[in-house]
Amino acid sequence: MRGLRVSRNVVAIVSSIVFVILAALLVVTPVPFVTWRPGTTVNVLGSTGDGPLVEVKGVQNYPTGASSLLMTTVSTTRVDANVSLPEALLAHLNPHSDTLPRDVVYPVGLSDQDVREEAVAAMDTSRSNATVAALGAAGQSVKEMPMVESVVLSGPANDLLRPGDLIEEVDGKAVKSREEVVDLIAQRSVGDVVGFKVLRDKASELVLVKLEEGSGSTPVAGINVGTGFNYAPEVIYRVDSTVVGPSAGLVFSLAIYDKITEPNLLGDEIVAGTGAVDSAGKVGAIGGVREKIAGAEEAGASVFLLPTANCVDVGDLTTTMRLVPVSTLKDAIRALQKINEGKTYAEVPTCG
């Protein structure tokens, strides 16, 4: 009997050790998921020590009052970090967090630097689109022009033309579209010198490029041409550089519009929002909307603007805020005007 008791004690001790080891492994072993949690909110109508977070120069500015316009963010597991099984389960069970397959958020093979560069590029595009959309909505003159999107490093235009150059003329002929630029280059011969009149830093310059032979013996300048925009005002963004991605476009647009129009768009409301925006003001769906709503509610917002396409993601969500779906920047402006002028939501759409 005594030996049996010793044997049982040994089994109990060994079992406890095994349990502790397994529990420890469970905690530290990574799983192929990432978590999304509510991130910080930023009042884009506010300022830093260097100036307004969104500053518009070269056009009349108007007071924005005591209102707040909150940019919302999501706190995401970094590409170089891991999530344990308990962390993933807790995030999945939390109505204000989410768990997603790692490969969906971070495609295999992308480094931390790759992800960062993509997100920064998306933010740059978001700011550019927001500027164009807001200026257009405010009645400012915005001219669409062909633009140098990129320059081939080994091509003839390298160190001559620059990304962002707006193309006014090709060999003395005015151009209004990407297609016109491409056609005029195609009409020339390999070895010809082509003159590009470009608008760079608000000043016109003539740049001469000797065409080289491309695929199929076609003449090429070694540039990719897209669409850009020319406008007089200058918009400066001073938002934290660690905040990246495309989803702040709608909020940036509203900040610009509110600063250069009157009356005050927001009144005394705390308004939050999210949504990608293109240069025409169309608002596109984004990810992490539930987490952003939670962050905005915690920050005291009473109205939350979101893409109409994201309404399906929040149908079961309980919140004290008014969730206002918008398909365009003009939709968002009209909704805020109705809230501000009438202090009523009767004519303002809502998700659900």
Nearest to 137 by CA among 306, 332, 270: 332
Domain boundary among 230, 258, 284: 230
Question: What is the C-alpha separation between 59 and 140, in angstroms, rounded?
Answer: 9
Q: What is the pLDDT of residue 25?
A: 45
- 124 in the same domain as 159: no
CATH number for the domain spanning 166: value is: 2.30.42.10
- 189 in the same domain as 310: no
CATH number for the domain spanning 301: value is: 3.30.230
Give the tens place of pLDDT for each residue, 259-278: 999 988 988 889 999 999 99
Q: Per the structure block, which two tokens stand in for 82?
A: 């891991």
Q: What is the pLDDT of residue 7?
A: 63
Give the tens place of pLDDT for each residue, 92-136: 667 677 776 776 666 777 677 777 777 778 888 899 999 999 999
The answer to whether residue 352 sits within a structural domain is: no
Question: What is the C-alpha separation between 77 and 105, in angstroms, rounded?
Answer: 10
Question: What is the C-alpha separation between 337 and 331, in angstroms, rounded?
Answer: 10
Q: What is the pLDDT of residue 22?
A: 46
Q: Above 70 in pLDDT, residue 9? A: no
Percentage, residues of the chain above pLDDT 90: 59
Higher pLDDT, 216 or 195: 195
Question: What is the C-alpha separation between 332 and 82, in angstroms, rounded?
Answer: 38
Helices H, strands E: what count in the chain? 8, 22
Give the tens place of pLDDT for each residue, 296-328: 999 999 999 999 999 999 988 889 999 999 999
- 166 in the same domain as 60: no
The answer to whether residue 58 sits within a structural domain is: yes
The answer to whether residue 7 sits within a structural domain is: no
Instruction: State which residues form the domain around 65.
Output: 33-76+84-139+233-342
Average pLDDT of the chain, as a whole number: 86
| Chain centre to alpha carbon of residue 197 | 32
Domain boundary among 230, 264, 284: 230
Domain boundary among 179, 199, 230: 230
Percentage, residues of the chain above pLDDT 70: 83
Q: Whole-prediction pTM value?
A: 0.83
Q: What is the pLDDT of residue 46?
A: 93
Nearest to 146 by CA among 171, 170, 166: 166
Q: What is the pLDDT of residue 284?
A: 95
